[in-house]
Amino acid sequence: MHTNAVSLDTYALCTTLTASSKLQHFNFGKRIHAHVTKSGFFSSVFVTTALIHYYSKSINVKDAALVFDEIPDKNNVCANALLSGYSQAGLWIKGVQLVRKMPVLKLKYDHFTCLHWIISALVQMYGKCGMVEKARLVFKLDGMQIQNETTRDLVLWTSMLGVYGKNGRYKEVIDLYREMLQEGIKPDGII
């Protein structure tokens, strides 16, 4: 598109970054990042959030954090994208540091910040201590239906699958994976 003198817009950049991470074309995504920086799209919260997601999905959370730090007008969406990246990478201390920094950045805690991220951390903590049943209880608690909508996201499913796997409960890994698919959660490159 761009080489044919068709200008890229926010939608095209976000879609391209999403496709690049799903196809694991990480060098192409970095070229898109360079274009975003040069062309002035860095002021778009949509594009910068897509960049944070892109780097998080490519397990390059350090670059995701650098993008977050450079965003002139941060909001909860980009903060939650970075928190999600920290969760997927198991960087809980970095996540706690970001949560503590949110009031300084004039960002408020929302549903994701207080619920999904902390519950995923609890599941992993119990799992690391070998307390698989407690991890499962926390996981099930977050799966309660609120207005016909379950609240478990891919990060939480990944956390619970990891708990079972690290504790040698391979049958439970397979059963939970099937349950995840039945609930319509699609695995990414991490699972």
Q: What is the percent of the chain with per-residue pLDDT over 90, rounded to a whole number?
A: 23
What is the rounded average pLDDT of the residues 149-177? 86
Q: Is the pLDDT of residue 144 over 80?
A: no
Q: Within 10 Å of residue 80's Cβ, how many Cβ atoms?
A: 21
Q: Is the pLDDT of residue 1 over 50?
A: no
Domain edges within the chain:
2-101, 132-182
pLDDT computed for residue 12 by the predictor = 82
pTM: 0.65
pLDDT computed for residue 90 by the predictor = 78
Which residue has better confidence, 79 or 24? Answer: 79
pLDDT band for 114, please (50, 70, 90 cuts): low
d(CA 54, CA 16): 10
What are the tens digits of pLDDT across the range 16-64?
A: 888 887 777 778 888 888 888 887 777 778 888 888 988 888 778 999 9
pLDDT computed for residue 146 by the predictor = 46
